[in-house]
Amino acid sequence: MDTYDLITRNAEEVVTDEEVRDLAADPEGKRAYVGYEPSGVLHLGHLLTANKLIDLQEAGMEVVVLLADVHAYLNGKGTFEEIRETAEQMKAQFIAYGLDEESTEFVYGSEFQLDDDYTLDLHELELSTTMNRAQRAMAELQSGETAKVSHLVYPLMQALDIEYLDLDLAVGGLDQRKVHMLAREELPELGYDSPPCLHTPIVADLTSGEGKMSSSEGVTISMEDATEDVEEKVNSAFCPPTRDPEGDLENPVLELFEYHVFPRFEEIVVERPEKYGGDLTYESYESLAEDLESGELHPADAKSTLATYLDELIEPGREKLREIRD
């Protein structure tokens, strides 16, 4: 796989393709980042972007992980001391999951977001950004939650973070697209460059194939889950043997194979008794998806295999959590 293909593997969107191709032509020493609000145990949403960071490290880029403690404080996630404790746990889990410690820089937002220069630039953004534009970039509020001024400032800070971290590529889930577009529009007004962006997909809800997987509703898989929990959640997942002809539903089991398993394993083995055809071996996601569609691979066998490989991926982080809590 060439460098450009590795950098863009499983990307839902690249902004712009020309800019990212230029990065791929000379990736050594270039800096990419994802920002995470310290929120507890890592789950598959975090790990999807972490998979992309691992790709970028393999391509030769340096990775910056922003542990956004000020953002978390603005979101009412606790005191700075509580948030820092959570952030340290997340940092340990990311390393256990597979981020290369030597080429990963973990940065707390409070290390630079409270400085005078940053604060003045933030005020400049507040002056130049309309209320409507900031609202469009806001994260979706939870049901019943009332918007606060901090919710409007939040995306402006996210945009400014990209400049202050001296980045060459901003990475995030597709739900971060509005923030990144805000950064591309507004940072040049402060004399800064527009950042290239790469957006990873959003995995569908495990149980229905609709919407998106949500940790807030308890339908995701996290590093806190025991092997039995992973198996139970995957076995109850929505996995139709054929594609939805209307295109309204996704297959979360296939999505997890595509975005989580195949990027981390060279070969996937589906273990089956000889009376059911014996083991199946896959070296590509496409061949597994085709076999599920054709009926060669039964949904139950796909689920049990997925649970096995997901469990192997999260086990190091699960063990790290045990060490921290003990």
- Region 250-261: mean pLDDT is 96
Q: Which CATH number fits domain 3-200: 3.40.50.620, 3.20.20.110, 3.40.1190.10, 3.40.50.720?
A: 3.40.50.620
Q: Where in the chain is the domain with CATH 1.10.240.10?
A: 215-325
pLDDT at residue 150 above 70?
yes
pLDDT digits (tens, 9 = 90+) for 267-309: 999 999 999 899 999 999 999 999 999 999 999 999 999 999 9
Task: Look at residue 211 in the predicted model and tell me its pLDDT.
Answer: 76
204-226 per-residue burial string, b: 16 or more CB within 10 A, e: under 16 = bbbeebeebbebeeebbbbbbbe
pLDDT at residue 217 above 70?
no
Task: Look at residue 241 in the predicted model and tell me its pLDDT.
Answer: 80
Task: Look at residue 94 in the predicted model and tell me its pLDDT.
Answer: 97
CATH architecture of the region 215-325: Orthogonal Bundle (1.10)
Task: Look at residue 133 in the predicted model and tell me its pLDDT.
Answer: 92
Look up the pTM and report it.
0.93
Model confidence band, residue 53 (pLDDT cutoffs 50, 70, 90): very high
The DSSP line for 25-71 is HS-TT-EEEEEE---SS-BHHHHHHHHHHHHHHHTT-EEEEEE-HHH
Model confidence band, residue 244 (pLDDT cutoffs 50, 70, 90): low
- Region 64-87: mean pLDDT is 94
Q: Where in the chain is the domain with CATH 3.40.50.620?
A: 3-200
pLDDT digits (tens, 9 = 90+) for 123-140: 999 999 999 999 999 887
Task: Look at residue 220 in the predicted model and tell me its pLDDT.
Answer: 86
Q: 64: Cβ–Cβ under 8 A, 6 or more apart, which residues?
A: 31, 32, 33, 104, 105, 106, 107, 165, 167
